[in-house]
Amino acid sequence: MTIRLGDTAPDFTQDSTEGKINFYDYAGDNWVILFSHPKDFTPVCTTELGYMAGLKPEFDKRGVKVLGLSVDGLGDHEKWADDIKQTQGNTLNFPLIADHDRTVADLYDMIHPNANDTLTVRSVFIIDGNRKVRLILTYPASTGRNFDEILRVVDSLQLTDSHKVATPVNWKDGDDCIIVPALSNDEARKLFPGGWDEQRPYLRVVPQPGA
Q: Does the active-site annotation cover 177?
A: no
The catalytic residue among 27, 34, 45, 178 is: 45
Say how many Å lie between the first and final Cα of the chain, rounded: 40
HSE-up of 132 (CA within 13 Å, CB side)? 7
Question: Residue 38: CB partners within 8 Å, gap ≥ 6?
Answer: 45, 70, 71, 116, 119, 120, 121, 122, 141
Torsion angles phi and psi, residue 13, rounded to 5:
-125, 130
Three-state SS across 58-119?
HHHHCCEEEEEEECCCHHHHHHHHHHHHHHHCCCCCCCEEECCCCHHHHHCCCCCCCCCCCC
Catalytic residues, by residue number, are 45
